[in-house]
Structure 1
Amino acid sequence: MFKIVQYGLACMTGVIFLAFNLSTELINSICLVLILLFGIPHGGVDHLIHASTTPDTNVLKYIVKYLLIAGGYILWWLIDPSKALFIFIILSAYHFGQEFIADMRIKGQNVILNLIWGSVILVGPMIFSYQEIAVYLQIIIPNLPDEIGPMTKYTIPIISILLAIGSVFWLRRQKLTAGRIYQIGLFLCVIILSHILLPFIPAFTIYFILFHSTNAFKHQFSWLKEKKDNYHFGKFIIDLLGFSLLAILGILGLIWILKPESQATLVTYFFILTSLITLPHAITLDQFYRFRNTLKIGKAITESSK
């Protein structure tokens, strides 16, 4: 039922963007608001996730470390934006791929597999839509070219898709059910079609909110419910609110201070500020997925030995 709702909302949102002749500025504004309200909060319980996977953890120390990592990253953006952008893309691709592999209940933590699917989700679409997003990237890296050759534009996305399809055949060793393979294929179709039919930002927003964030919410809630007594969805929402509101207000406050002179600058600043919390969030979730996977493997070994 959850997947039906996900794909149904994704299709409905895509149709709305296509059906209404909205300006690019309005579409981008809607997308930023949606990411702010429904995407940013999926990192709101990082401190609880960390505490549940790390014995004798100090939550205050974790929060200070979280903020220091974010602060260090903004210095990197100021000193060397091209390298900071490269790290952000690779880190995000790995993070997106890792969440997808976890959601498909594929055993093990394979860095290459995570990057392959992260490339399908993020790197390939960015290359395919390079001419569109170059407007934003050139604000921080002025010497970037306005466009790339058609060979690069199509070759890299196609290679990433072929690698992803090939990985499904490799994963059949894990005895993936027909239903799971169907879900993987359907997800691949949604990603491809959304970026063919829609501009990059609305297509990415559909993925980020309706797939990545909602899957993360599901994984986090299920985990915390398993680890905490009498834990329920209402408590989960309350736990999310505190740090989510701080993150949202922090991003809005910094944008107000920076005073972007155009919407393109606003979009660029928004994603840079989002990257500041993406780095510590991705580190936390990497630890979470690895820890959860280790527990599952341990349980499987124990059950098989009985």
Structure 2
Amino acid sequence: MKELNFKGVSLPAIGIGTWHMGDQPQMYAQEKATILYGLQHGATVIDTAEMYGEGNAEKLVGDVLQEFDRSKVFLISKFYPQNATKIKMKQALDRSLKRLKTDYLDLYLLHWRGSVPLAETVAGLVELQKAGKIRHWGVSNFDTDDLKELYALPNGEQVFANEDLYNLANRGIEYELLPWQRQQKLPLIAYSPVDQGDSRGQNLTQNEIIQDIAQAHQVTPMQLLLAWTIQANNVMAIPQTSNLEHMKQNIAAGEIKLSKAEMQQIDTQFPAPDSKQSLRMI
């Protein structure tokens, strides 16, 4: 698995997303086994949120963590913007920690911006960090102007990562946001990194170039899409799957290295943006 340097912390380039997980009792055992397999085979970052199933995903992750060394997991969760005040954030974190059956998070993210002033949110996160309840804090669904505003605040530059939608079908952040984050050495966590293989009415996995390059590497088109997302430095992908075979494929995608020529071929099919685009969220 390709390793990344996230502000001095060594992390795998591919982690485990948990959106839509933990909601179906009949799928619970399978989902638990799939996440556990991922942890055991190097995908040691888990991304979850209080929003996912209103805590169900966190409960699932909490059960998984009972069967794996917690100290070897980089655990991420997120809080609602309405919980971004100092008091509500602490309460939300305590609820998340209880569901996750742990006493700390490795990374706590503001899920998206709301009406609470960023300065108050940052101050609350720094307090939680000093209390040892979170090791790092960050943001999600932030665009360049949001991050510039954040960096202008006291302790704002301590932000550990920004988590945004990024995949081959959604390259808008490459025009301005990604270059700015690289300049600041701020890592990106890419959610929906394969766009479920389909976007804007075009099926990415059916594209001939994608299929040809995948075949050359003896991987699936979905694996190729995932590999493309992490080719850039300081980009981590967190694909979600409840399927053990797909988990194995996701982990294997972390070993795929695309040549410059292959990246250029892909660019001809799915061009990089040539102007600023509004930040997409799902």
For the pair shown, the structure with the greater C-alpha radius of gyration is: 1
Which has more helix, going by share of residues? 1
Which has more strand, going by share of residues? 2
Choose between structure 1 and 2 for higher RCO, CA contacts under 8 A separated by at least 6 residues.
1
Which interval holds the TM-score relative to the shorter structure? under 0.3
TM-score if structure 2 supplies the norm length? 0.26
